[in-house]
Amino acid sequence: DAMVIQNPRYQVTQFGKPVTLSCSQTLNHNVMYWYQQKSSQAPKLLFHYYDKDFNNEADTPDNFQSRRPNTSFCFLDIRSPGLGDAAMYLCATSSPRESSYEQYFGPGTRLTVT
């Protein structure tokens, strides 16, 4: 009964080689978020989609892009990964229709850059 699914769970990529991380949800939530969490740090919001509307945080590097082809799926593209992009990437969802404002997190994808 997984609600927010992330694939792969572990990803290794080479310096400068584009990589795509995937998130899917079975909750039919309007909003999907991507967070970056580096070791021993707090999650940091990169961007979110409200339906098809994309909203970028001001300090998110241009190297990070996102796509949401439909309600269920959202992708994080890292165009040219650097060593500093090694982190856990967390996808989350929420819906303004719900009385709770909870964000539901996926299990994360741990990205290693070699």
Question: Can you give the binding site for other proteins, defined by CB under 8 A?
Answer: 30-31, 33, 40-45, 48, 50, 55, 57-59, 90, 94, 96, 100-103, 105-108
Distance CA 92, CA 32 (A): 6
Distance CA 25, CA 96 (A): 16
When the beta carbons of 12 and 79 are compared against other proteins, the nearer one is: 12
> 56 to each of 12, 14, 26, 27, 77, how far by Cα in Å?
25, 25, 24, 23, 14
Q: Provide, rounded to whole angstroms, the least separation between the CB of residue 16 and other proteins.
A: 27
Q: Provide, rounded to whole angstroms, the least separation between the CB of residue 30 and other proteins.
A: 7
Q: Provide, rounded to whole angstroms, the least separation between the CB of residue 60 and other proteins.
A: 11
When the beta carbons of 75 and 105 are compared against other proteins, the nearer one is: 105
Tell me the chain's radius of gyration from C-alpha atoms. Answer: 13
When the beta carbons of 59 and 62 are compared against other proteins, the nearer one is: 59
Closest CA to 108 of 70, 76, 65: 76
Q: Provide, rounded to whole angstroms, the least separation between the CB of residue 61 and other proteins.
A: 15
